[in-house]
Amino acid sequence: MARGVCLPLSAQVPLLPVTDALRDLFETDGGQRFKEGLADCAPYVGTALRRLLPELDDLVPAPQPTDGEWWRQRLLSAVGAILSSLAATRPTAVWFEDLHWADATTLDLVEHLLSRPPAFPLVVTYRRGDPHTSVVTGDWVRRIQRLREVTTIELEPLTRDETADQVALLGVSMSPREVDRVHQRSAGLPLFVEQLARSADATTLPEPLADLLDRRLVGLSPDEWVIARTLGVADRPLTAAVLRRSTDLTPPALTAGLRALDGRHLTTSDGHDVRLGHPLLAEAVRRRLVAGEAIEEHRRLAIALATGQDPSSAEIAEHWHRADEPAQEIEWRIRAARDAGSRFAAAQEAEQWQRALALWPDKADVAGVPGLRKADAYVACLDALQHIDWPTAAAVADEALASLSDPRGAAAAAVYRRAGVIRGNLGDPAAGLPLVDQALDIFDAQRHPAERARALLDRAHLLAGLDRLDEATTACLQAGELVADRDPVTTRAALVGQAGHAADSGRFEDALELIRAAAGVDTAHADPGGDVYVALTHAHLLLTAGRSADEVVTAGLPGLDAAEAWGIDDSRTSVLRANLSEALRHAGRVQEAARLIDPVTEEPPTPHRWPTHSERGLLDLLRGRSDAATSRLDAVAELFVVDLANRALCAQDAPTADLWCGRPQRAYDRLTATLRDLGGAEDPGVDVAGLLVLAARAAADLAATPPAGERPRATLLRELDDLAARAAGDPFATPHLNANRPALRATWAAELGRLAGTPSLGLWAAAAAAWDGLVRPHDSAYCRWRGAEVALTTGQASAAVRLLRRAERDAREHLPLLDSIRTTNATHASA
């Protein structure tokens, strides 16, 4: 590939890219191939090319003085001849880059080469809209495109994913958010992507890029600058009507200014709207503003946008903020928060409420037009934050509690309720419960039935976290009775809560009936959060009951659809995705599970998203990414999970990674600590059995790990027996709400045999069969692998071969297990 590059001043240097390309070819092998190519050409070729390549001075005669046009024709023919000669002996391609800057002779050469089908691939790149491109060059490219031999490929801007690929190829490490920012600023132009990616400062432009853009703005007339300034400060497309209102230009002056900017390729229009041609041009405009200019422009835009159709409250609020007018800003912040809330856009709503509260006038209880109480603003802010950012919600709750003017009013009760739940979610349900009880003391059943019912549901949530299940069930039932036929949204939430308690008490069919009733509640208005809550609970019930992965996913799809339709990504969608992923993962469908989880777990774990991050860690483990899995699962293990059943489930994840990564002591210590903490819980949803089985596996691995004797088998067995005895009942008893109890009991027995030094093929076979019944191929494969180990040590080679063959088949998409199976297989084969 011979490459020649045009530069901004190439038009003054004839055939610069052609010289570069020929020199590329000459220097490939010290000129040997080039000399051979010249030998196959007419004598004039070398003589003509000597004008371009001084390297030929010692190889060919000097050209005779000739007429310029005659020489020019000879040179064009000579370039074509040498390229054809070289292509005849070895595949050769020519690439001329940035031909919009090319000189007239280079353009003539390309046209000459294309006058007949070329003997070699010829690729040229040309950028439309370059302000330095002459009219003649524009006419040339349109003429060339009409030639039969020419194929035009319009290169679209890079997509976001393609931008990420380019950043990675540049060797630059960026977070997904940083890539998003680069893509947004660059608009997908590779040159700008490269400059921004290599810049150490994410907020300013690299000097070469800033200089390039600044030169585009030199020489604007006053009217043209006013239009460019307005578009740059707005940083988005504007209609002609908004431009007229914000610039005060007459229609003829505005039209003339827009035409001039378009002629300089500074703006683009889609008919009704006009914008600057690139986001970085807007940055360049804003960088040129002098003191006071930006403030006035933001004020003009705020007024102009507010008088338009369907104004964006958040955008107008931001302009008032930059215009330094807080009285106007707070009014539009409140509007923006309410607008976002009506779209269930919790993150945007929370941001607007927080900004409004920060602007609240000192010692004022009411602000905005129409007036809004500060306590109500706090309540709305907490509602927006409750499922998306618990630490921030806790800080806002503390502010709200400190600012209450009437501690016995309904607004205060609303704050108490939310503050109590947040404290529970962040690790202290015992401290949160009194706050919820304060709210219940204020909310009267007759005057505030819906508010009291919601407080009862929150009380049930905290009581469950304190292992006071009977009280939690009672609170949930009371909530349902209180709002029956009064508040459909709260009624639905109460039905879902009752379904969970019915399942905990072993009434699975009743639980399903309650879920169906919740799904059928007509809420009159959209309730996507409720849709997600119903779906995640339905999926969880089926998952626990051992139903197929397809059934679980089908149950969860309505919730995913609602979340997608409304753009919801919060703690509820995290639980829903994790439930569906868990079902697929148990079924051995790791890649399907990853498609649900990977896109939403690129950032570090946060308290309200622990379920999806736990799943991501486990999926990474199964995909052989042990370091990433360990790092993520260790981070999740540091987070508090208020629900006891979920806490016990989460506590199994990091030790699972420890076991597959050869850290049995770490796994054992973690599991025994959790069992001492949760092993005696009354909540039947707490998976004591699962914790015990993993602890037994860790103990057996420890006993088999050199140096032997550090933890005697008898000591480990006694410790496990003591931990099992702490349980409120038999942790492996059946029937149980979790269908995996028989399989766990069988695996427990097999692991204890391994720990005791008396492993049993029969016990491992029974455990594998139990997991087969639940369609849990990875668990079955693990048991068959362990069984094969026993068979090999007891001289049952044929049985071991059968077990390993089946285990290897079932362990697809579980790389650590697959590696262990193959290692055992290889050891047996070499014995």
pLDDT confidence bin for 45, thresholds 50/70/90: very high
The model's pLDDT over 598-639, given as tens digits with 9 standing for 90+, comes to 999 999 999 999 999 999 999 999 999 999 999 999 999 999
pLDDT digits (tens, 9 = 90+) for 374-390: 999 999 999 999 999 99
User: What pLDDT does 57 receive?
Assistant: 84
DSSP bridge pairs for 268? 275
Domain-located, residue 53: yes
Residues 128 and 263 in one domain: no
Residue 154 in domain: no
379 in any annotated domain: no
Range among 31-40, 401-410, 813-822 with highest mean pLDDT value: 813-822
Burial (CB count within 10 angstroms: exposed 0-12, middle 13-18, buried 19+), residue 352:
buried
| Token pair recorded at residue 194 | 């490269």
- Partner residues linked to 124 by β-bridges: 96
pLDDT at 788: 97
Lowest model confidence (mean pLDDT) among 50-64, 393-407, 409-423, 500-514: 50-64
- What letter would DSSP give residue 5? E
* pLDDT given for residue 493 in this prediction: 93
What is the helix (H) or strand (E) element at residue 434, kind and residue range?
A: helix 429-442
Give the chain's mean pLDDT: 92
List the single range of 328-337, 402-411, 579-588, 660-669 with lowest mean pLDDT.
Answer: 402-411
Instruction: Supply the DSSP string of 21-54, one letter for each residue.
Output: HHHHHHHTTTTHHHHHHHHTS-HHHHHHHTTT-G
Angle at 743 between CA 470 and CA 801, to 5 degrees: 165
- Decide if 742 is inside a domain: yes
Would you state the structure tokens that stand for residue 745, as one six-digit string?
């009991």
Q: Once rounded to an integer, what is the mean pLDDT over residues 732-740?
A: 88
What is the C-alpha end-to-end distance of the chain, expressed in Å?
A: 55
Q: Is 403 within a domain? A: no
Domain endpoint, select from 311, 328, 347: 311
Q: What is the mean pLDDT of residues 802-822?
A: 97
Q: Which residue has the tokens 């009371």?
A: 478
Q: How many domains would you assign to the chain?
A: 6
Q: Note the pTM of the prediction, 2 decimals.
A: 0.80
Residue with tokens 């500074």: 266
User: Residue 10's pLDDT is what?
Assistant: 59
Same domain, residue pair 656 and 726: yes
375-390 burial by CB neighbour count: b if 16+ within 10 A, else e? bebbbbbbbbbbbbbb
Residue count of the chain, please give it. Answer: 831
Q: Are residues 193 and 245 in the same domain?
A: no
Identify the pLDDT of residue 384.
96
Query: Is the distance from CB of 745 to CB of 780 less than 8 angstroms?
Result: no
Check residue 701 and give its pLDDT.
95
Domain that holds residue 576: 532-638
Residue-level pLDDT at 643: 85
| Single-letter code of the amino acid located at 232 | G
Is the pLDDT at 14 greater than 90? The verdict is no
The confidence score (pLDDT) of residue 65 equals: 62
Residues 231, 292, single domain; the answer is yes
Q: Are 381 and 347 in contact (CB under 8 A)?
A: no
363 vs 62, more confident: 363
Given a contact cutoff of 8 angstroms between Cβ atoms, the answer to whether 547 and 587 are in contact is no
8 Å CB contact between 341 and 349 = yes
Phi/psi of residue 661, nearest 5 degrees: -100, 10
47-55: average pLDDT = 89
Do the domain assignments include residue 343?
A: no
Q: What is the token pair recorded at 376? A: 């109500």
Q: Which amino acid is at 302?
A: A
pLDDT at 217 over 60: yes
Contacts with 823 (C-beta within 8 Å, 6 or more apart), sequence order: none
Looking at residue 64, its pLDDT comes to 67
Q: Average of pLDDT values for 702-711? A: 73
Of 638, 668, 703, which residue is a domain's last?
Answer: 638
* Number of helices followed by number of strands (H, E) in the chain: 42, 8
678's tokens = 């949760």
Tokens of 645: 């059943």
Share above pLDDT 70 across residues of the chain, in percent, rounded to a whole number: 98
How does pLDDT run across 172-196, given as a tens digit for each residue?
999 888 999 999 999 998 988 998 9
**Is residue 634 located within the same domain as residue 652?**
no
**What is the average pLDDT across 716-723?**
95
Same structural domain, 679 and 800: no
Instruction: Let me know if residue 15 belongs to a domain.
Output: yes
Query: So what's the pLDDT on residue 708?
Result: 52
Averaged pLDDT for residues 703-731 = 86
Q: Are residues 130 and 29 in the same domain?
A: yes
583 inside domain: yes
Q: What is the mean pLDDT of residues 444-451?
A: 88
Residues 662 and 703 in one domain: yes
pLDDT of residue 587 exceeding 70: yes
Q: Is residue 768 predicted with pLDDT exceeding 70?
A: yes
Q: Is 568 helix (H, G, I), strand (E, B) or coil?
A: coil
Mean pLDDT is lowest, of 78-92, 205-219, 455-469, 604-618, for 205-219
Quickly state the pLDDT bin for 650 (edges 50, 70, 90).
very high
653-660 vs 688-703: helix crossing angle, rounded to 10: 20
Q: What is the mean pLDDT of residues 80-105?
A: 91
Cis ω before 208 (30° cut-off from 0)? no
Residues 392-396 have a mean pLDDT of 96
pLDDT computed for residue 545 by the predictor = 94
Nearest-angstrom CA–CA distance, 678 and 652: 12
Tokens 């070499």, located at residue: 830
Q: Is residue 583 domain-shared with residue 657, that is, in the same domain?
A: no
pLDDT exceeds cutoff 80 at 66: no
The region of weakest confidence among 172-176, 648-652, 666-670 is 172-176
Report DSSP letters for 318-356, one per residue: HHHHHTT-HHHHHHHHHHHHHHHHHTT-HHHHHHHHHHH
Mean pLDDT to the nearest integer, 535-558: 96
Model confidence pLDDT, tens digit, residues 295-343: 999 999 999 999 888 889 999 999 999 999 999 999 999 999 999 999 9
Residues 596, 614, single domain; the answer is yes
Task: Tell me the pLDDT tens digit for each residue of 103-130.
Answer: 888 999 999 898 888 889 999 999 887 7
Strand partners, 267: 276
CATH number at residue 288: 1.10.10
Quick: pLDDT tens for 470-515: 999 999 999 999 987 788 999 999 999 999 989 988 899 999 999 9
Could you tell me which residues come within 8 angstroms of residue 826 by beta carbon, excluding any fewer than 6 positions away? none
Same domain (yes/no): 773, 716: no
Q: Distance between CA atoms of 151 and 111, rounded to whole angstroms?
A: 14
Final residue of a structural domain among 99, 115, 145: 145
- 780 and 798 in a single domain? The answer is yes
Angle at 86 between CA 85 and CA 87, to 5 degrees: 90
Residue 641 has pLDDT above 60, yes or no: yes
